A and B are shown apart, each in its own frame.
Chain A
């Protein structure tokens, strides 16, 4: 039988490794960028001068330069500084493309996460932290127990969008020799000469990653928002 994309279906296994790499690089970058974003956002809302300035420089630098340039600059630049970032861990090989790719994607996404988090922190009414401080909580305790738990709920939907964008941005890493979905697409196309079908398959693979994330985010959004959750419960009860 002959149908659209037949050759692709027969060679789906060729995409598998690339698909896994895209998932792994996205997962690692998601965790690292969340940590970076949280730290940088906290530094920006605290009064301390030097660290705040560094946080601002970091955010503005990574938000205002193209990701492709950052990735190429890190990949080709770090070895010039004598840094060959690659290692074996638990029998797994983390090559330079993977390590530098994760680093680049985390630094880039982290800048956006920081801005989103900062917006979330600023939206929590200042009365909340003033009350916490007057009850004797330290600055760190105030952030940890009062402000951040409230901010997290507000930032879940925009963060979800950031991580969807991050998965899509990971495609750029094929230019620093990461064998991800995009790189495998070129590989398969080089053997089958079916450009249109190959890239249609790649679109479907990316949708498989991004759409469930979009659904998950909208579910969390409902679940974590106390006001909406109550409204939904009331609606259900009626």
Chain B
């Protein structure tokens, strides 16, 4: 290896090897996504007849007639004995890991329990995995979770990679400003510093609806809010439910107001891996039942309304 004695050549060699390794790894990754086995199959616990038998014999309580609870991937879930759900751990009202009780609470968490109840007759046959915005699609594709209920906006780009259920909530993107601000709507943002979070739909919508605004992109909404408090940003923009949460938890809620009649609509849906038609049908069926039998309203009023102050009816 005489050539490697020269330091410059050596560094160049290392760089090339690093790049080649990266390419090789990515090639493996691309292949493995097609051949990966559902995690459930690899480590299925021995099927306990006590959990499986009664559910198969008669529909579980709380499940309407006509909602399929067997077939396809639903059988795999039943054999495993629990539903694995990706939820947010940091979204007040929707999915929050309560720091005091160390329990998961929220609208989406409670809905997930209803989905487990429909399959097993027991809302606690469930395992939660933390889903952050960036890992929701990979988690579904890699079978780390069965479904994702995590303030997941339905859009065309995502629909190409995964399937969505019907919407269970429709948020709207708005603006949080200091009271008396000259900003009244999205058209007043030109040249203004507007804070939001990196990698969010809100960031993308802001760039589209107010290309003249100067985005200030932070890691968390709480930081974006401090920028507003400090006057570094003149508005925070994201879904109204999140803005309401920021306003209500601030030291002086009366100093802030939410403006801009929703300049986008963000329908939240439940994410399911492509090709799982039975699981999708079960999800949609249960969701429709929850919307009509009052469970949706109960869970919404229990979780989202106190955290945001926004009343809502189930979306059609």
Complex contact B203–A79 (CB within 8 A): no
Q: Which of A76, A97, A183 contacts B198 (CB 8 A)?
A: A183
Closest to A182 in B: B198
Complex contact B230–A177 (CB within 8 A): no
Report the minimal beta-carbon distance from A58 to chain B, rounded to whole angstroms. Answer: 25
Complex contact A211–B232 (CB within 8 A): no
Q: Does A96 make an interface contact (CB < 8 A)? A: yes
CB 8 Å contact bits of A176-212 with B (1 = contact, 0 = none): 1101000100110111010111001001100100010
Q: Does B103 make an interface contact (CB < 8 A)? A: no
Q: Does A142 make an interface contact (CB < 8 A)? A: no
**Which positions 18-56 of chain A face chain B at CB distance < 8 Å?**
none
Complex contact A211–B217 (CB within 8 A): no
Q: Does A80 make an interface contact (CB < 8 A)? A: yes
Complex contact B134–A195 (CB within 8 A): yes
Q: Please report the C-alpha to C-alpha distance between residue A211 and residue B9 in the assembled complex, in whole angstroms.
A: 12
Given contacts A196-B29, A211-B11, whether A183 and B161 have CB atoms under 8 Å apart is no
Stretch of B19-27, B44-52, B248-256, B280-288 with 4 or more beta carbons under 8 angstroms from chain A = B19-27
**Which positions 150-167 of chain B face chain A at CB distance < 8 Å?**
157-158, 161
Closest to B134 in A: A195
Q: Does B312 make an interface contact (CB < 8 A)? A: no
Q: Does B7 make an interface contact (CB < 8 A)? A: yes
**Which positions 185-204 of chain B face chain A at CB distance < 8 Å?**
195, 198-200, 203-204
Complex contact B198–A79 (CB within 8 A): no
List the A side residues contacting B200 at CB < 8 Å. 190
Q: Does A174 make an interface contact (CB < 8 A)? A: yes
List the B side residues contacting A95 at CB < 8 Å. 214
Q: Does B226 make an interface contact (CB < 8 A)? A: yes
Q: Does A90 make an interface contact (CB < 8 A)? A: no
List the B side residues contacting A225 at CB < 8 Å. none
Q: Does B218 make an interface contact (CB < 8 A)? A: yes
List the B side residues contacting A176 at CB < 8 Å. 218
Q: Does A129 make an interface contact (CB < 8 A)? A: no
Closest to B203 in A: A190
List the B side residues contacting A76 at CB < 8 Å. 223, 226-227, 230
Q: Which of A177, A187, A191 contacts B227 (CB 8 A)?
A: A177
**Which positions 46-72 of chain A face chain B at CB distance < 8 Å?**
72
Tally of contact residues, B, Cβ under 8 A: 34
Complex contact A84–B15 (CB within 8 A): no
**Which positions 152-196 of chain A face chain B at CB distance < 8 Å?**
174-177, 179, 183, 186-187, 189-191, 193, 195-196
Report the minimal beta-carbon distance from A49 to chain B, rounded to whole angstroms. Answer: 38
- Interface of A (DSSP majority class): helix
Complex contact B217–A179 (CB within 8 A): yes
Q: Please report the C-alpha to C-alpha distance between residue A176 and residue B11 in the assembled complex, in whole angstroms.
A: 33
Q: Which of A177, A196, A203 contacts B217 (CB 8 A)?
A: A177
Q: Which of B19, B137, B214 contacts A204 (CB 8 A)?
A: B19
Given contacts A189-B199, A190-B204, A211-B15, whether A79 and B26 have CB atoms under 8 Å apart is no
List the B side residues contacting A119 at CB < 8 Å. none
Report the minimal beta-carbon distance from B175 to chain A, rounded to whole angstroms. Answer: 17
Q: Please report the C-alpha to C-alpha distance between residue A76 and residue B18 in the assembled complex, in whole angstroms.
A: 38
List the A side residues contacting B223 at CB < 8 Å. 72, 76, 175
Given contacts A195-B134, A196-B26, whether A186 and B217 have CB atoms under 8 Å apart is yes
Complex contact A79–B231 (CB within 8 A): yes
List the A side residues contacting B219 at CB < 8 Å. 175
Q: Does B216 make an interface contact (CB < 8 A)? A: yes
**Which positions 73-125 of chain A face chain B at CB distance < 8 Å?**
75-76, 79-80, 84, 95-97
Closest to A190 in B: B199
Q: Which of B158, B217, B231 contacts A84 (CB 8 A)?
A: B231
Q: Please report the C-alpha to C-alpha distance between residue A190 and residue B226 in the assembled complex, in whole angstroms.
A: 24
**Which positions 111-168 of chain B face chain A at CB distance < 8 Å?**
134, 137-138, 157-158, 161
Q: Does B8 make an interface contact (CB < 8 A)? A: yes
Given contacts A196-B29, A204-B19, A211-B15, whether A187 and B198 have CB atoms under 8 Å apart is yes
Q: Does A214 make an interface contact (CB < 8 A)? A: yes
Q: Which of A96, A175, A215 contacts B218 (CB 8 A)?
A: A175
Nearest 4 Cβ contacts at the A-B interface: A79-B230, A186-B198, A177-B216, A186-B199
Could you list 22 examples of A-B contacts with CB < 8 Å?
A72-B223, A76-B223, A76-B227, A76-B230, A80-B230, A96-B232, A97-B216, A174-B198, A175-B218, A177-B195, A179-B217, A186-B198, A190-B199, A190-B200, A193-B157, A195-B138, A203-B22, A207-B15, A211-B11, A211-B15, A215-B8, A218-B7
| Additional pairs, 12, CB under 8 Å, beyond known A195-B134, A215-B7 | A4-B27, A76-B223, A76-B226, A80-B230, A84-B232, A177-B216, A183-B217, A186-B199, A187-B217, A193-B137, A196-B29, A203-B22
